[in-house]
Amino acid sequence: MANDDTWVIIPVYNEVTVIAQVVADLQAAFRNIVCVDDGSTDGSAAQIATTAAHLVRHPINLGQGAALQTGLCYALARPGGRFFVTFDADGQHRVADADRMVDAARSGFADVVLGSRFLDQDDGQRHRVPLAKRIALGLVVTLSPVARKMHLTDAHNGLRVFNRAVAAQLRIRMNGMAHASELVSLLARSSWTVRELPVTIRYTEYSTSKGQSLINGINILFDLAVRDQR
Partner 1 sequence: MIVQVILVLAALGALVYFVRLAHNVHIRASKRIAFFAFIVANIYAVLRPNDTTWVAQQIGVGRGTDLVLYLLVVAFVFGMLNTYLRQREISNHLTDLARTVALRDAELTNRDRGLLTESLNTEPLNIEPRQ
Site residues (CB under 8 A) for partner 1? 36, 49, 52, 54-60, 62, 66, 69-70, 73-74, 76-79, 171, 173, 175, 226, 228-230
Question: Using an 8 Å Cβ cutoff, are 159 and 101 in contact?
Answer: yes
Closest approach of partner 1 to the CB of residue 59, in Å: 5
Nearer to partner 1, 49 or 188 (CB): 49
Nearer to partner 1, 74 or 206 (CB): 74
Closest approach of partner 1 to the CB of residue 78, in Å: 7
Closest approach of partner 1 to the CB of residue 230, in Å: 7
Nearer to partner 1, 54 or 93 (CB): 54
How far is Cα 104 from Cα 194, in angstroms, rounded to an integer? 12
Question: Using an 8 Å Cβ cutoff, are 176 and 63 in contact?
Answer: yes
Q: Where are the alpha helices (DSSP H) in the chain?
A: 19-27, 44-49, 64-77, 95-106, 131-143, 145-149, 164-169, 179-189, 205-210, 214-225
Closest approach of partner 1 to the CB of residue 229, in Å: 6
How far is Cα 13 from Cα 97, in angstroms, rounded to an integer? 23
Closest approach of partner 1 to the CB of residue 34, in Å: 8
The number of residues in the chain equals 230
Nearer to partner 1, 76 or 104 (CB): 76
Which CA distances in Å does 165 have to 179, 192, 194? 19, 9, 13
Closest approach of partner 1 to the CB of residue 144, in Å: 20
Chain mean position to CA 39 = 18
Nearer to partner 1, 106 or 173 (CB): 173
At 84 the three-state DSSP class reads strand
Nearer to partner 1, 138 or 176 (CB): 176
